[in-house]
Structure 1
Amino acid sequence: MGSDSRRKSLDDGSNYPPGTVELIHRRNSCKDGELILIPTPSSDPNDPLNWPKWRKAWNFGLLVAMTLVIFTGLSTQAVFTVQLRNDIHATNEDLINSRAVEHAGEALGCLVFIPFATKYGRRSVYLVSIAVYVGAAWWFANMHTARDLYLSNALKGFSAAINETAVQMSIRDMFFLHRRGSANALYHFTISTAFSVIPIAAGTQALQSGWRASATTQAGIITVLFFLFIFTFEETKYVRETEKTISDEYEKESIKGLIPDHHVLPQKPFPYYFRLQLFTPTDESLWKILISPIHSWFLPHIMFTALVFGTSLMWISVSASLTGIVFSAPPYNFNPQQLGYLFVSVFVGSLFGGLYGGALVDWAVVWFTRRNGGLYEPEMRLYLLPLPALSMSAGLAVFGVTADRGLHWIYPSIGSAAMAFGFSGMASISFALLVDAYPEIVSHGFMVVAFVRNVFTITGPAVTNPWRKGMGLGGMFICAAFVSLAVNLLAVPLLIWGKRIRIATASRYHRLSQQTK
Structure 2
Amino acid sequence: MSVGELDVPGTARIYQEEGETVQNAVTLIPTPSKNPDDPLNWTRKRKYLMLSCVVFYTITATILSSDLYSVFDPLSDSTGLSLDQLNVGTGYLYLFIGVSTLISQPASLAFGKRPTYLVSAFGAALVNIWTAFAKGNSQWIASRLLLGFFISPSFTLVEVSIADVFFLHERSFPIGLYINFLFGGVSLGPILSGYIYEGVGWRAIIWLSTGLTVIMGIVLFFFLEETTFEREHDTLSSITSRNDAEVEQEENDPKTTDKGDKTTTSVQNEHSQSRRLESMDITDATPFTPTPWPGPRFWKFMKPHKHALGIMTRGFLQPLAMYRLPLIWWSGLMYATYQICFNLIAAISSGILAAPPYNFSTSAVGLTFLSPFLSAIPGSVYGGYITDKFVLRQAKKNHGIAEAEHKLKLYIIPAALCPIGLLMMGLGPYYGAHWIVYVLGCAIVNLIGPLATILTVSYVFDCYHPIRPKTEHGVQACAQDMAPYLLSTVLLAMVFTFGFNYVITPWCFGWGLRNFAISSALIITVINATVLVVLKWGKRLRRSGERHYRKIIDW
Both structures adopt the same fold (TM-score exceeding 0.5): yes
Whether the aligned pair in 2 keeps the contact of 1:349 and 1:418 (CA below 8 Å) is yes
| Aligned counterpart, 2:552 | 512
Cα–Cα, structure 1 residues 212 and 452, in superposed 2: closer, same or farther, change >3 Å?
A: same
**Which deviations, in whole Å up to 9, do the C-alpha atoms of 1:390-419 show, x marking residues without a partner?**
212221121012123332110011110111
Cα separation, 1, equivalents of 2:149 and 2:388: 33
What's the offset of the Cα at 1:261?
4.8
Question: Which SS does the other structure have where 1:35 is aligned?
Answer: strand
Letter in 2 for 1:323: S
Q: Is 2:317 the partner of 1:277?
A: no
Work out which of the residue numbers 412, 425, 428 in structure 1 matches 2:451.
425
**Which deviations, in whole Å up to 9, do the C-alpha atoms of 1:36-89 show, x marking residues without a partner?**
111111221211111112221121111111110111121121112233123222
Whether the aligned pair in 1 keeps the contact of 2:67 and 2:186 (CA below 8 Å) is yes
> How many correspondences in the alignment?
501
| Aligned counterpart, 2:508 | 468
Work out which of the residue numbers 186, 197, 202 in structure 1 matches 2:188.
197
Cα–Cα, structure 1 residues 278 and 142, in superposed 2: closer, same or farther, change >3 Å?
A: farther
- Please list every run of 5 or more consecutive structure 2 residues that lacks an aligned counterpart in the other structure: 238-264, 269-279, 468-479
Question: Which SS does the other structure have where 1:505 is aligned?
Answer: helix
Cα separation, 2, equivalents of 1:219 and 1:192: 20
Whether the aligned pair in 2 keeps the contact of 1:141 and 1:215 (CA below 8 Å) is yes
Question: Which SS does the other structure have where 1:450 is aligned?
Answer: helix
Work out which of the residue numbers 226, 240, 249 in structure 2 matches 1:235.
226
| Aligned counterpart, 2:369 | 343
Matched residues, percent identical? 25
Q: Answer with 376-385 or 439-448: which moved more.
A: 439-448
Work out which of the residue numbers 30, 37, 40 in structure 2 matches 1:46.
37
The CA RMSD over aligned residues, in Å, is 3.1
Q: Answer with 324-333 or 251-260: which moved more.
A: 251-260
Work out which of the residue numbers 164, 178, 181 in structure 2 matches 1:173.
164
What's the offset of the Cα at 1:427?
0.3
Q: Is 2:89 the partner of 1:98?
A: yes
TM-score normalized with structure 1 length? 0.89
Whether the aligned pair in 2 keeps the contact of 1:62 and 1:233 (CA below 8 Å) is yes
Q: Is 2:345 the partner of 1:319?
A: yes
Question: Which SS does the other structure have where 2:152 is aligned?
Answer: helix
Cα separation, 1, equivalents of 2:214 and 2:324: 40
Cα separation, 2, equivalents of 1:290 and 1:218: 31
Cα separation, 2, equivalents of 1:270 and 1:205: 40
Q: Is 2:19 the partner of 1:33?
A: no
Q: Is 2:428 the partner of 1:402?
A: yes
Whether the aligned pair in 1 keeps the contact of 2:120 and 2:151 (CA below 8 Å) is yes
| Aligned counterpart, 1:353 | 379
What's the offset of the Cα at 1:115?
2.2
Q: Is 2:522 the partner of 1:482?
A: yes
What does 1:178-327 align with in structure 2 at a 5 Å threshold?
178-241=169-232, 243=234, 260-262=285-287, 273=297, 276-279=300-303, 281=305, 283=307, 284-327=310-353
TM-score normalized with structure 2 length? 0.83
Cα separation, 2, equivalents of 1:177 and 1:242: 17
| Aligned counterpart, 1:415 | 441
| Aligned counterpart, 1:447 | 487
Cα–Cα, structure 1 residues 253 and 512, in superposed 2: closer, same or farther, change >3 Å?
A: closer
Would you tell me which structure has more strand in proportion to its own residues? 2
| Aligned counterpart, 2:392 | 366
Cα separation, 2, equivalents of 1:270 and 1:161: 29
Whether the aligned pair in 1 keeps the contact of 2:62 and 2:186 (CA below 8 Å) is yes
Cα separation, 2, equivalents of 1:471 and 1:278: 54
Q: Answer with 451-460 or 121-130: which moved more.
A: 121-130
**Which deviations, in whole Å up to 9, do the C-alpha atoms of 1:206-246 show, x marking residues without a partner?**
22222222221110010111122223211111101474999
| Aligned counterpart, 2:257 | none
Whether the aligned pair in 2 keeps the contact of 1:45 and 1:268 (CA below 8 Å) is no
| Aligned counterpart, 1:11 | none
Letter in 2 for 1:33: N
Question: Which SS does the other structure have where 1:33 is aligned?
Answer: strand
Q: Answer with 169-178 or 279-288: which moved more.
A: 279-288
